[in-house]
Amino acid sequence: MKTLTRNVVENWGADGERWLSGLPALVDEVAAEWDVRVLETYPMTFHWVAAAVRADGTPAVLKLGVPDGHLDAEAEALRIFDGQGAVRLLAENAAKGALLVERADPGTTLTVADEAALVEVGHRLHRVPAENRHLPHLRTLRGGFERYREGPIPRRMVDRAAELFDDLCAGAPRETVLHGDLHHGNVLRGRDGEWLAIDPHGWVGDPGYDGGAMLYNPDPERREPELLALVPRRIDMLTAYEERERVIAWGYVMGVLAELWTVEASGQARSRALDVARRLEPLLD
C-alpha cells in the first residue's frame, strides 16, 4: 500500500487522499454490487487491484481508481479489443472508478526473455483502426511538454522531443487503437497459453507510440548499464512492424515524456527513461 499511497497522493492530491480514506468501504460496496468475493490483493501502483471470484465461479480481477474519469478509456479500449490480445472487460462502474476484468491465468508476467511476444501482442492490438472510436488522441499528451518550465531535464531535450512528437503524430503512416502503456508488467500469460495485455490507457494514434515503453521497462527505476544495453536489440525487434527511424524517434520522445511525468509527480528525474533518451539522441541525426 505504500507505493499506492505515494502515487495516488502525488498525482491526485487532496482528491487522492479522500479516495484512500474511503477505499475499504468502496471495496465492500463494489463487491456487493457485482456479487464477487474479493481474494488477495496484487502489487499496486496507481490503483487498488485484487483477485476476485464471481458468483458463478468465474475468476476475475477487481480494479479501483480515483473516479476522475481516467479509467473510462481503459474500459473502452478493453471493449474494443474484445479479448483479442487483451483480457476481457466484465463490468464497469465509471462513477465509482471500478472495473471488473478477466483474470489472466496463470498470470505469469512477461520477462525480458519473452520480449518478442511483447512486440507481437502490440501488433495484435494495433489491428483496430482509429476511426469512430470514443478514445482520446495521442496529441492530448502534448501537455506534458508544455507544462514543463525548468528542472532536472535539459530544456533542449524537452524541446526536441516535443517537436518530434508533433512530427510523428502528423506523419503517422496509419492510426489505430493503442494500448498506451504496453510494457512487460502489463502483459500476462492467460487463457490457452496466450499472452494478454492488461491495464490499457486507451488512445488512438500512431502505433509506433506503443513501442516506446518497451525501451525503458521493466523496472524503470533501475538504471544499471546492462539494462540500458538492451535498447539496440529491442529496437531491432520493433522494426518488424515499424520503420527504424520512427522506432528510434518514438523511443526518444517517450523516454523524455515518461521522465517529465516522473518529475511532475515527484520533482525528481529518477528513471531509466531519460537514460534511454540520451542513448538514442545521437541516432536522431
> Catalytic positions, please?
181
Q: How far is it, in rounded angstroms, from Cα 103 to Cα 105? A: 6
Closest CA to 200 of 128, 262, 143: 128
**Contact 197/101 with Cβ under 8 angstroms?**
no
Residues 23 and 48 sit within 8 Å (Cβ to Cβ): yes
| Dihedral pair phi/psi, residue 62, rounded to 5° | -100, 130
Torsion of CA 160, 165, 168, 174, to 10 degrees: 170
Among the listed residues 278, 240, 271, the one whose alpha carbon sits nearest the alpha carbon of residue 118: 240
- Among the listed residues 186, 182, 138, the one whose alpha carbon sits nearest the alpha carbon of residue 164: 138
Q: Which residues 6+ apart lie within 8 Å of 246 measured at CB? A: 168, 206, 208
Residues 207, 240: contact at Cβ < 8 Å?
no
CA distance 253 to 158: 9
Name the β-bridge partners of 143: none
CA–CA dist 185, 131 (Å, integer): 29
